[in-house]
Amino acid sequence: MDVRIQTSTKVTAVELDERNRATAVTVVRADSSSVRIPCDNFVLAGGPWTPAVYKTLFSSSSIQIDSATEAGDWIVFRNQNPVAENSVAFVGLNDIVGEKLP
């Protein structure tokens, strides 16, 4: 299995077969170039923007994706002892606090 992770791109189209399975995606890269990428599956990982991106790509879909977090639900901490130059960790507090933080 070949896995390709595309960052700093904007998905502009998804090609589906007769059974609504993804066969290719078209993305625009940061340099404004457009490329078609054949695929068997793809993961839409847009964080809190995933529901909005899904609705844009699949406007006629009856599937409704609920967001667990919103764009403003993030707190950024500086790691004083990072294991890598660009390491990231996620901590969700909703289950601990029991309500959405202001």
Residue 102 placed within a domain: no
Torsion of CA 15, 33, 55, 92, to 10 degrees: 120
Q: CA–CA distance from 36 to each of 63, 67, 84 (Å)?
A: 25, 28, 32
Structure tokens at 35: 């490329």
Q: Looking at residue 38, what is its pLDDT?
A: 93
Q: Based on the structure, what is the number of domains in the chain? A: 1
Report which DSSP code applies to 11. Answer: E
Which residues constitute the domain of residue 91?
9-97
Beta strands at 9-16 and 34-38: parallel, antiparallel or unpaired: unpaired
User: Reduced to 3 states, what is the DSSP secondary structure of residue 57?
Assistant: helix
Tens of each residue's pLDDT in the chain, 102 residues: 677 778 888 889 999 999 888 999 999 998 999 999 999 888 887 777 888 888 888 888 888 887 666 656 666 666 666 666 666 555 565 566 565 555
Domain membership flag for residue 4: no
Is the residue at 1 inside a domain?
no
- Residue 65: per-residue pLDDT: 80
* Alpha-carbon 52 to chain mean position: 10
